[in-house]
Structure 1
Amino acid sequence: MEWAADVLTAEKYDVGRQIAQRGVAAVYVIAFLSAVAQFPALLGEKGLLPVPVFLARAGRRAGPTLFHRGYTDRRLRVVAWTGAALSAALVLGIPQAGPWWVPLIAFLLVWWLYTSIVNVGQVFYGFGWESLLLEAGFVVAFLGSAEIAPPFLVLLMIRWLVFRLEFGAGLIKLRGDRSWRDLTALYYHHETQPMPNPASRFFHLLPKPLHRLEVAGNHVTQLAVPFLLFMPQPMAGFAALIIVVTQCWLVLSGNFAWLNTLTIILALAAVPDSFYEAVLPALELSGAHRPTPLYVSVVVSVAMLVLAYLSWPALLNLFARRQLMNASFNRWHLGNAYGAFGSVTKVRYEVVVEGTLDAVGPGARWREYEFKGKPGDPARMPRQIAPYHLRLDWMMWFLALGSERGWFAPFLVKLLEADPAVLKLLRTDPFDGERPRYIRARIFIYRFSTREEKRATGLWWIREPQGVVVHPASLRADVP
C-alpha cells in the first residue's frame, strides 16, 4: 500500500507547512491574549453580557464549551493562558519536532479551548475571523511534524478554505451593494470602515479613477484567481501570491483584526518550496522525510473527508440567491461560509460617550471618553491595531449603524459606576476613577479632513453633531 501513501503526500512544501502551522499558532496567541485582556470585562461574571446568564438561558444550544460545567473568570483565564502557552509552543516549533501525532494533539487542544471561548462569546465573538481561526486551526493540525512530508489532502483543504474565503467575499460584494458593481465602493470604504488605521486617510484621498481600478482588481482577485489555486504548479503558487499581495494592501489600508493576516498565512501554504529556492538558491529548504505510515494517511483521509462533508452547506451557500455572510453551519465552526462588506456605508456615524460631574444645564462641562481604536478626538491620528482585535471598539461601529443587541446600556451603567475593568478597555478615563454624575451619548458624522483642512487645522477628522442617542442619565439618587 506504499503507493497510496505516496499519492497522499506532497514533497517540497516544507516552508508552506512551517508558515501555516507557526502562523496560525501565532494568531491563536493573539486571540487568547485578547481573551485574557477583554473577556472578563465584556462577558465575565460581572461583564456587560455575563456568560453565566447566557448559559442559563441558552443551555446546550450555546454549543460545545468547557464552561457548561460552570463559568468563572478564573476558569476563563486558565483556559486562555493554557491556550496561549500551547500556541506559543507551536510557534516555536516544539511539538513539530516530535512524532506526527504531537502537533496534531497540540493544535486540537488549542482549537477546543478557543471553541469553548467563542461559543459563549455572544455578539463580542460574532465575527467571521473567529470561525476562520477555528477552522484554520483544525485543518493545519493534520499537517503533522517534520518527520514526514506534508499530507497533500491537508494542503488541498487549506486551498479550499482560502477559496471559500475569497470567492465568498467576492460574490457577497457583487450581490450586496451596487457600489461594488459600479466600481465606486472605495469612494467611501476607507473612510467608513469600522476602524481606520494611520494610512486609511491617505488611501481615501487617492484619485477616484484609482479607486475604481482597486475595486476592479479586487473583483479579479476574489472571483477569478481563487480557481487557479487548484491548478498544477507553478500556477497555484502564483495565484496564492496574488492573493497575498492584495491582502497586504488591505493590511496597509485598515484594521480588520487577524482576517487579512490569517488569509496571507493560509495562502502561503500553496506556495511550493521551489519558489523560495528560486529567490534563495543557496538554501536547501526541503528536508528529508521518512515514508508516511499508512495509519497517518488513513487518519488524514478520514478527517479531510469529514471536513469536505461539513463544508457542503458552505458550497451550496456560494450559489444561493440569498448568500449568507460569515455563517457557521455546525457548532464546531468547521466548513463555514465567509464574506465581508456585502454593503458599504456611504457616511460615517460615530457615537461619542460623554460624562459630567456637574448638574445638567448650560454650564455643565461634558468630558469625552476616548476609545483605544475607534475615532474620537478629531485631532488624534487613527491607530494601527490589527492583528489585535478591540472588541468593544468594533461594537461601537455597529452601534452607530443602529445595532445594539443588549450591551450598550450595561456599558453606560459600568461607566456611571466607574467600573475599573471596563475603564481599562478605554484609552482614557476623563474622571480618573471618580464616578461621573451623568452620562450621555451623542452621534456625529465624521469624515476625513481634506489636505487643505489638515494643513490649516491639523485635524484628521471633521465632525458634525447630529443629535443625542442617550439623554443625560444617572444612577445617583440625589439628582433630579
Structure 2
Amino acid sequence: MEWFAAENYHTARFVLQRGIALMYLVAFVAVLRQFQPLLGSRGLLPVPRYLERVGAWAGPTIFRWRYSDALVLVLGWVGVLVAASLMAGLPQTGPPWVPFAAFGVLFGLYLSVVNVGQVFYGFGWETLLLEAGFLAAFLGSDDVAPPFLVLLAFRWLLFRVEFGAGMIKMRGDRVWRDLTALYYHHETQPMPGPLSWFFHHLPRPLHRVEVAANHVVQLVVPFLLFLPQPVASIAAALVIATQLWLVLSGNFAWLNSLTLLLAFSAVGDDQLTAVLPALAPVLAGPEATGSLWWVILVGVMAAVTVVLAVRPARNLLSPNQAMNASYNRWHLGGSYGAFGSVTRRRDEVVVEGTTDPEGRSGWREYVFRGKPGPVDRWPRQVAPYHLRLDWGMWFLALGSSAQHRWFLAFLGRLLEADRATLRLLARDPFDGVRPVWVRARVFRYRYSTWAELKAQHCWWVREERRVLVAPTRATDLSV
C-alpha cells in the first residue's frame, strides 16, 4: 500500500520520536522537581482538595484512584525512564506495538498530571505535548515504514499551532497589524532569555521586518506544508528557522522546541540528502506497511483525527477565536495561539522578607530562578524547562485574581522557611532561617540602555509602583 507507507520520511520519524520523547523527559523532570511544593499534599494548590471539589470534572487521572506524594515520585520516574528509552531508540527496535505502548504510557501519565495541575498546568503547550505524544505512538518501529497518515496528522497539528497563532495576532492587538509589536515584546514577555535584551535593542525598522516575516510564516507557510515535495520541506525549513529565532529571543518552555520538531513531519529524506549528501547512506529504512492490525489501528487514529478537527477548524474561522482551548478531557484536537495582545509595560512582583521583629529594616529580596528580580542579574536560559512558579508570578503581576490564592499560600511557606518551596527559588536570602515578616511590592521594570549597562552593569531599571501585600506575619495568614 504505497499510499500508507511513507518511504521518504525515515528522518522525520527519527526526529519526531526522539525529540518528542526528550520533551516528555523535560516535562517529567519538572514534575519531580516542582509538583510536590506546588500541588502536593502541602502544596500551594493541593491536589487532594482540588479533587474533592471537582470530582470527575478533573478528567482522566490516576490520582482520582489515589493521591500521595510518593505516587507522584513513582509517576515522574517512570515517565523519565520511558522517555529516556525512547530517546535511545530501544522500543523502536521491536514491533510497532512496543513504541506504541511506550508513548501511550507517557501520554497517560502526563495526562494524569495536567488534569490536576490547575493554574500551574494551564498552558497551551501542555495540550500540545499531549497531542504530539499521542500521534507519536502511531509512528511505528524500525520494522515498518512511517505511516503517511500519521505524518499528515502531525502537519495538521503544526498548522493549528502556526496558523492559530497568526490569526489570533491579526484579530488581536493592533501592534501586530502596524508591525510595532516587537517594540515591546522582548521587554515584556513572560520570561526573557539571555539574548532578549540584545533583541530588544535591535533597530526598530528591523523589528518591523521581523513582524512582517512572522506573519508570512504563520499565515501563508502553513498551507504549503500539505503540498508535494520539495515545497513541503521548504515550508518546514522556514518554520524551523523561525522557531530557532524564537528559542534565541525568549523562554517559552518547550513551545518553540516542540513546534520545531513538528515541522520535521514535512521534511523528506530526498530533500534532506539534496542539502546534506553525506546523510544518504544512513537514511535508508524499511518499506513494509506492517501487519493488518497495524494498518487498521493507524486508520482508526486518522478517523479520530478527522472527527476532532471540526471544532479547532471552526475556531480558526471564528471572529471570536479562542487562543488556547481543549475541547475534551483527553486534550486532543485542541486550538492554539499565543500573544494575541502585547503588554506595553513590564511590572514585576518583588517578594521580600525580614527577621526584624518590628519589620522596620533588614528587608531582603527572594530571587527567583527565571523571572526578573535584581537589576544586575543577567536573564537565564531555562527553556525548554518550565519554571511554573515564575510563570505564575508573571500572571500575578498582570493582576490575575486566579493567581492570588496560591500566592498567599506561597508567602505562608516562606514564613515557615519550607524547604520544598525554597528549592523552587534561586536564592533564599535567609539561608533557611524563618523570616518574621514578608511583603510583596510591584515594580515597573524596563531594560537598561547601552549607556546604563556600561556605566551601572545593570540589565534592568526599576521603580516601585505599589504594594501588593503589606508586611505580613505567619499569624496573619491561614496556610
Contact 2:5/2:289 (<8 A) preserved: no
Q: Work out the CA distance in 1 between the residues paired with 2:361 and 2:135.
A: 57
Of residues 5-14 and 448-457 in structure 1, the stretch that sits farther from structure 2 once superposed is 5-14
1:41-52 matches, within 5 Å, as 41-52=37-48
List per-residue Cα deviations over 1:353-411 (Å, max 9, x = no partner). Answer: 000111446x5111000000000000000000000000000000000000142211100
Q: Work out the CA distance in 2 between the residues paired with 1:137 and 1:465.
A: 44
**Other-structure match for 1:396:** 393
Q: Work out the CA distance in 2 between the residues paired with 1:306 and 1:290.
A: 24
Shift of 1:8: 1.4
| Match for residue 64 of structure 1 among 37, 53, 60 | 60
**Other-structure match for 1:423:** 422
Q: How many residue pairs were aligned? A: 472
**Other-structure match for 2:364:** 367
SS of 1:99 mapped into structure 2: coil
Contact 2:289/2:295 (<8 A) preserved: no
List per-residue Cα deviations over 1:259-281 (Å, max 9, x = no partner). Answer: 00000111012100112212332
Contact 1:95/1:103 (<8 A) preserved: yes
Residue 475 of structure 1 aligns with an amino acid whose one-letter code is A
List per-residue Cα deviations over 1:175-218 (Å, max 9, x = no partner). Answer: 11011111110000000000000100000001111101100000
Q: Work out the CA distance in 2 between the residues paired with 1:253 and 1:335.
A: 29
List per-residue Cα deviations over 1:233-276 (Å, max 9, x = no partner). Answer: 10001000000000000000000000000001110121001122
**Other-structure match for 1:76:** 72
The runs of at least 4 aligned residues of structure 1 exceeding 4 Å deviation read none
Q: Work out the CA distance in 2 between the residues paired with 1:375 and 1:47.
A: 24
**Other-structure match for 1:325:** 323
Shift of 1:299: 1.0
Contact 1:360/1:472 (<8 A) preserved: no
Residue 187 of structure 2 aligns with an amino acid whose one-letter code is E
SS of 1:143 mapped into structure 2: coil
Contact 2:5/2:287 (<8 A) preserved: no
Residue 317 of structure 1 aligns with an amino acid whose one-letter code is N
- Alignment RMSD (CA, Å): 1.1
**Other-structure match for 1:256:** 252
Shift of 1:476: 4.7
Q: Work out the CA distance in 2 between the residues paired with 1:308 and 1:395.
A: 35
List per-residue Cα deviations over 1:308-366 (Å, max 9, x = no partner). Answer: 212211111001121111110000000000000110000000000000111446x5111
1:255-404 matches, within 5 Å, as 255-282=251-278, 283-284=280-281, 285-360=283-358, 363-404=360-401
1:7 corresponds to 2:6: no
Contact 1:328/1:334 (<8 A) preserved: yes
Of residues 261-270 and 271-280 in structure 1, the stretch that sits farther from structure 2 once superposed is 271-280
**Other-structure match for 2:453:** 454
Q: Work out the CA distance in 2 between the residues paired with 1:288 and 1:218.
A: 38
Contact 2:349/2:397 (<8 A) preserved: yes
Q: Work out the CA distance in 2 between the residues paired with 1:404 and 1:411.
A: 15
Q: Give the TM-score taking structure 2 as reference length.
A: 0.97
**Percent identity of the aligned residues?**
59
1:158 corresponds to 2:157: no
Q: Work out the CA distance in 2 between the residues paired with 1:105 and 1:15.
A: 21
List per-residue Cα deviations over 1:101-156 (Å, max 9, x = no partner). Answer: 11011111110010001000000000011000000000111000011111010000
List per-residue Cα deviations over 1:68-115 (Å, max 9, x = no partner). Answer: 012110001111110111111000000001001110111111100100
Q: Work out the CA distance in 2 between the residues paired with 1:291 and 1:41.
A: 47
1:84-123 matches, within 5 Å, as 84-123=80-119
Residue 370 of structure 1 aligns with an amino acid whose one-letter code is V
Contact 2:366/2:429 (<8 A) preserved: yes
Contact 1:423/1:429 (<8 A) preserved: yes
Residue 400 of structure 1 aligns with an amino acid whose one-letter code is A
SS of 2:53 mapped into structure 1: helix
1:154-303 matches, within 5 Å, as 154-282=150-278, 283-284=280-281, 285-303=283-301
SS of 1:407 mapped into structure 2: helix
Residue 278 of structure 1 aligns with an amino acid whose one-letter code is A
Shift of 1:475: 1.4
* 1:178–1:291 CA distance, 2 compared to 1 (3 A): closer
SS of 2:277 mapped into structure 1: coil
Q: Work out the CA distance in 2 between the residues paired with 1:367 and 1:93.
A: 49
| Match for residue 54 of structure 1 among 26, 29, 50 | 50
Q: Work out the CA distance in 2 between the residues paired with 1:454 and 1:360.
A: 37
**Other-structure match for 2:469:** 470
SS of 1:148 mapped into structure 2: coil
Residue 58 of structure 1 aligns with an amino acid whose one-letter code is V
Structure 1, unpaired ranges of 5+: none
Residue 35 of structure 2 aligns with an amino acid whose one-letter code is F
SS of 2:225 mapped into structure 1: helix
Residue 158 of structure 1 aligns with an amino acid whose one-letter code is F
Shift of 1:291: 4.2
**Other-structure match for 1:436:** 435
Contact 2:187/2:446 (<8 A) preserved: yes
SS of 2:205 mapped into structure 1: helix
SS of 1:379 mapped into structure 2: coil
SS of 1:7 mapped into structure 2: coil
Q: Work out the CA distance in 1 between the residues paired with 2:320 and 2:417.
A: 44
Q: Work out the CA distance in 1 between the residues paired with 2:395 and 2:29.
A: 24
SS of 1:257 mapped into structure 2: coil
Residue 324 of structure 1 aligns with an amino acid whose one-letter code is A
